[in-house]
Structure 1
Amino acid sequence: WITVHPVEGPFVVNLGDHGHFLSNGRFKNADHQAVVNS
């Protein structure tokens, strides 16, 4: 994990899985998982 500080005023586009589909599988999408405290 890295810390990212917000920058005021940018336009952000999150492609998510679309990058994988648009590149015909050349760009791999990351596996996401969440860990919860129980």
Structure 2
Amino acid sequence: MASSSATLAGSVAASNLLRSSTGGFIGLPLRSLGSAG
């Protein structure tokens, strides 16, 4: 469980970085939605 949780957190962080670098203002609402979910 801990390892899958860490993997999920890592993938979410990576996707957030990709969104912020590619989208910027588009990635911000997506990031807040992802953290809320």
What TM-score comes out, normalization by structure 2 length? 0.24
Higher gyration radius (CA)? 1
Higher RCO (CA-CA < 8 Å; seq separation 6+): 2
What TM-score comes out, normalization by structure 1 length? 0.24
More helix by share: 2
